[in-house]
Structure 1
Amino acid sequence: MLAVGGCREFAGAKTPEFLVSPATLAFTARAGGQDPPLQFLSIRETDQEPVHWTASADVPWIGLSSRGDIVPYFLGIGVGTGMAAGVYRGTLTLARPSTGDVRVVPVTLTLLSTTPLAGRWAGLQGSVSVTLTLVVSGSQVSGVGSLAPPARAVDVTGTGTNSTVSLRLAAPGDTTSLSGTFVDDNSIVATLSGPRLADLSLTLYRQ
């Protein structure tokens, strides 16, 4: 009698993936002005084991809240503004020494001669919250955002300078006006007026 046998072949254990996000970072600020708010990188691996990581930057104007720890971790990234107006580029390198994995994150810093209005802003006063993502072309402003209560998306149009802003926040069924003045490079004191709001004051902070 012919005896036939077999065995199952098992693949080796798969190395957990080293995950860093977002893939790029971009900052905009006024040359010689206040540093923009920190942005954060999420560092983790797929099985959430407490594995060590390291981080470094290749230019002196990028600051790191830590140069190494264990996953998971939110790494704060800051930039300095003490250079002339222009566009600057640097690179963050994050590594997992136990496996040799390396992730590279490009960083772009745009320094302007005036305080930039473009970017993300958010404000909260009592139960009222506003978030805006603005694009600027000359003195014209456009963008999208949200306004609550009630929570609703808004389309943004208006005008802005390096000291003042006047915006129209349009949602289905109502429109709210926002007028504001820069307090510093990262905050705007604004007044909201509309059918659901009566001259409400709040401060918008750069995100």
Structure 2
Amino acid sequence: MSDDRLERILDAAYACFARHGVRRTTMDDIAAAAGMSRPAVYQYVRNKDDAFRRLAQRLFDGAAAQAAEALAGGGTLTERLTRALDAKLELTLRLWRESPHAAELLGANARVSADLDAAFTTRMRDLLSAAVSGAMAAGEVPGDRLTAQELAELALALTRGLEADLSDPSAPRRRLRAGVALLVAGAAHESEERMT
């Protein structure tokens, strides 16, 4: 099977889901948007839920790759964590920018691909934890108050909270930068206080 055709189907599925929502999108819609027959589409995806799951996996894989790249890049721990978490935040922001059905799509994600979302969250936590561990080993951030995993989980919780309130679309990125800076500074401050 051609990966190009599957990508075309997933691109078409995204466009249809964003335009019509999950409930109103049909396999005929996806096939038409992909420029393929419905039987040809069924050679690549079993049904609409399968298309949704494959699309979600592709989006999660892309965000995780961006996060890994951000964490491997230069800058302070705060800058690297912010860039990595922005890759996660962008998944939700993109839906809200591109679809009037964003709430339905996010709800469908929880229904159809909750396991994929959980695996993505674990992957993000592991990436963030590794970056924090490296910063602790390098002395950039003390490690006697919080573990790397705890700091990573707090950063993810912050991001989830920002994803829950998108009433001001310009605010989440600004708040993410400030929140991550506070988390990292707070971890360093707690350590300093314990030493005095």
TM range (shorter): under 0.3
Query: Which structure carries more helix by proportion?
Result: 2
Tell me the TM-score normalized by structure 1. Answer: 0.26
Tell me the TM-score normalized by structure 2. Answer: 0.27
